[in-house]
Amino acid sequence: MSRRCSLPFVISLATLAAPALAQHAFDPARAPADDASILLAPEPYKTYRGHSLIRAVIRDHTEFNRVLAISGDCWTHTPRLEQPIDFLIPPGGLHAIRALGVSFDIIEPDMGEVVAAERARLNAPQTRGWYDDYKNLEAISDKVDELVALRPDLVSRFIVGPSLESRTIFGFRIDSPTPGPAGTIKPVIYIHATQHAREWLAPMTTMYVAEQLIAGYATDPDATAFLDKFTVIVVPVVNVDGYVYTWTTQRFWRKNRRNNANGTFGVDLNRNWSYAWGNNNGSSGSGASETYRGTAPFSEPEAAGLRDHILSTPGIILAFDIHTYGPLILSPWGYTASPPPILPYFNSLGLLMQSAIASVNALTFTSGQWYSTLYPASGANIDWWYGDQSVLNWTIELRGGSFAPPPTDIIPSGQEIYAGLLALAQTFCRADYNHDAFMNGNDYDDFVVDWIGALPAADYDRNGFVNADDFDAFVVEFEQGC
Ligand SMILES: [Zn+2]
């Protein structure tokens, strides 16, 4: 169940701070497609002319599968019977949907117009602030360099690994000089976004949250307290090839760019993780599907590279996978309806974030376990984090009514997720060892039993060893509160 004592390596703090990790990671010369130039796209740009976005109410599984067969692309993250579900419908498909007797509204009669308007806007000279419109991969990479230059004492850039098309997946680490309790590794929050290429609000929101913390350190009390308590690791775009492809060729491309060698392209990176891979109808074995799981767990370099970076990062205690659209705060499991033993704890923290988020713009995110009877997810990152690594984590589905929300959603979305993370950071305490939302003698007793038994769970600082540092760090946080 635990990663902590099964780490296949020994890593030191000196290794973590290795200068090589801070080098500029994005090299446009290595990128086969020039994502900065939409107009130079080598393939014809898909216009989506005549594609409509509908919101249907589905009565049973058979009806869902029939609509999905026509659409091929369900846009609602956790669809439920008798609840509105969004589908992208190709030209001519509406007639077939009507013939099924399905009740639906047309949300957007021609997504081609939406895409064309967005593209025209993005091709126009950009003179406004960075968060006033969506940014391509190169601009996001440049922004990371800007943040490093702004606060080199806090921010360092690293390389996750190469993508299938040999682009560089990059990230950055935000680390204040304050050490962890009793001199141990400070707990790490790992935030990654954009496993799904078309979810453009995800990297923007993630960068906004990171910049709030970085720019606010030592001036804003909330940001300062956050970074003195946690180290934050950010990977804004996991699916770099797919992301570039959404800018050059197909705006609503979701998967990576794997050539499946049968006329289909792409593996859904968020069905390619090893935990419960392929279980329970939660993914597809067909390369044409938007939820194609790939030929094997971690067959895709983007998922495998992210896994390897996670495994080489000690101290991780919380993680977030950022997607659009919901708005939803989702906890494990995705592959089964069975609740994890600590579902009440997940729910209490989810509701805490929900409340903090709602206080910003009065938008209420739905919070709960991911599993959906209509569309479960197996091999998703969320279940690997928890099932394989024992790390508490959530998938956040941001605001927005489609995969092309207006750019005016960017800053409100950033404000919402920043508020949710601050609330979590202020409340979360590792010394609540049994995850019952109370810190008391039971936590102490449970920890000591595990520590004496050298159980993986007692690796309090998650560096791969159970030793005296863990005991000291636990006692400091237990006695002082977090
Ligand atoms: Zn997604």
Annotate 237-276 with DSSP letters as a single string.
-S-HHHHHHHHHT-TT--S---B-SSS-B---GGG-SSTT
Separation of 269 CA from ligand 1 center, angstroms? 9
Separation of 75 CA from ligand 1 center, angstroms? 9
Task: Give 152-162 pLDDT, tens digit per residue.
Answer: 999 999 999 99
pLDDT at 84 exceeding the cut of 70:
yes
pLDDT on residue 281: 86
Across the range 294-323, mean pLDDT stands at: 98
Closest CA to 144 of 219, 225, 202, 206: 206
CATH topology of domain 52-109: Alpha-Beta Plaits (3.30.70)
Which two tokens mark 333? 């499991």
Q: Please give the backbone phi and psi of residue 48, each rounded to the nearest 5 degrees, phi first.
A: 60, 20
The bridge status of strand 316-324 relative to strand 168-174 is unpaired
pTM of the model: 0.91
Q: Please give the backbone phi and psi of residue 53, each rounded to the nearest 5 degrees, phi first.
A: -105, 120
Across the range 384-400, mean pLDDT stands at: 97
Task: Give 32-60 pLDDT, tens digit per residue.
Answer: 444 444 444 468 899 999 999 999 999 99
Q: Please give the backbone phi and psi of residue 316, each rounded to the nearest 5 degrees, phi first.
A: -70, 125
pLDDT on residue 373: 87
Separation of 61 CA from ligand 1 center, angstroms? 22
Same fold, 13-36+130-427 and 52-109: no
What is the distance, to the nearest Å, from the Cα of residue 194 to the centroid of all Cα atoms in its chain? 6
What is the distance, to the nearest Å, from the Cα of residue 325 to the centroid of all Cα atoms in its chain? 12
pLDDT on residue 42: 67
CA distance 268 to 250: 16
Separation of 196 CA from ligand 1 center, angstroms? 5
CATH topology of domain 13-36+130-427: Aminopeptidase (3.40.630)
CA distance 383 to 275: 6
Separation of 108 CA from ligand 1 center, angstroms? 20
pLDDT on residue 183: 83
Separation of 3 CA from ligand 1 center, angstroms? 25
Separation of 327 CA from ligand 1 center, angstroms? 12
Separation of 77 CA from ligand 1 center, angstroms? 8
pLDDT on residue 481: 82
Task: Give 444-480 pLDDT, tens digit per residue.
Answer: 999 999 999 999 999 999 999 999 999 999 999 999 8
What is the distance, to the nearest Å, from the Cα of residue 202 to the centroid of all Cα atoms in its chain? 8
416 is catalytic: no
Separation of 444 CA from ligand 1 center, angstroms? 39
CA distance 20 to 25: 10
Catalytic option among 165, 290, 397, 416: 397
Rg (CA), the chain: 22
Separation of 82 CA from ligand 1 center, angstroms? 22
Across the range 140-160, mean pLDDT stands at: 98
pLDDT on residue 178: 93
Using an 8 Å Cβ cutoff, are 371 and 378 in contact? no
User: Domain ranges in the chain?
Assistant: 13-36+130-427, 52-109, 441-480
Closest CA to 98 of 128, 135, 63: 63
pLDDT at 105 exceeding the cut of 70:
yes
Per-residue confidence at 30, pLDDT binned at 50, 70, 90?
A: very low
Per-residue confidence at 128, pLDDT binned at 50, 70, 90?
A: confident
Q: Indicate the length of the chain as a whole number.
A: 482
Task: Give 198-240 pLDDT, tens digit per residue.
Answer: 999 999 999 999 999 999 999 999 999 999 999 999 999 999 9
Using an 8 Å Cβ cutoff, are 317 and 189 in contact? yes
Across the range 334-349, mean pLDDT stands at: 96
Closest CA to 84 of 113, 58, 51: 58
Separation of 324 CA from ligand 1 center, angstroms? 6
Separation of 194 CA from ligand 1 center, angstroms? 7
More confident residue, 29 or 95: 95
Tokens 């940014």 found at:
135
